[in-house]
Amino acid sequence: MKPRQHHVPNATPPHHICDGCGDFNNPYMLKNPVWRQIMPSKRGFLCLDCVAERLGRPLTLLDFTETPINRPIFVAYEMGLRDGRAA
Ligand SMILES: [Zn+2]
């Protein structure tokens, strides 16, 4: 039992099911102009694969907002970039 409980309303969203392929996905936040391109209504959720498909290009870190929710994505991208380097 924990005496202190943090009240974080957005910590446990009901679900993040992709509207494109139906897969569960971790939450993330894209910058508004990017999101508007693929989701004009701004409602719903897409996995990153479906986002890239609708954009017609791969996502980059510049497409994501700087928010704690995106931290795992930033780390993953950084590691991926490092792995992909020849040197
Ligand atoms: Zn999807």
Domain interval for residue 45: 32-84
For the ranges 11-20, 21-30, 43-52, which has the lowest average pLDDT? 11-20
Res 85 pLDDT > 60: no
CA of 5 to the centre of ligand 1 (A): 34
CA of 23 to the centre of ligand 1 (A): 6
Closest CA to 33 of 44, 25, 20, 42: 42
Decide if 6 is inside a domain.
Answer: no
Decide if 66 is inside a domain.
Answer: yes
Decide if 51 is inside a domain.
Answer: yes
CA of 52 to the centre of ligand 1 (A): 10
- Whole-model pTM over 0.95: no
Decide if 74 is inside a domain.
Answer: yes
Domain count, the chain: 1
Q: State residue 79's pLDDT score.
A: 82
Q: State residue 50's pLDDT score.
A: 95
CA of 76 to the centre of ligand 1 (A): 18
Q: State residue 78's pLDDT score.
A: 82
Decide if 58 is inside a domain.
Answer: yes
Decide if 70 is inside a domain.
Answer: yes
Looking at every residue in the chain, the average pLDDT score rounds to 81
Sequence-distant (≥ 6) Cβ neighbours of residue 51 within 8 angstroms: 30, 38, 59
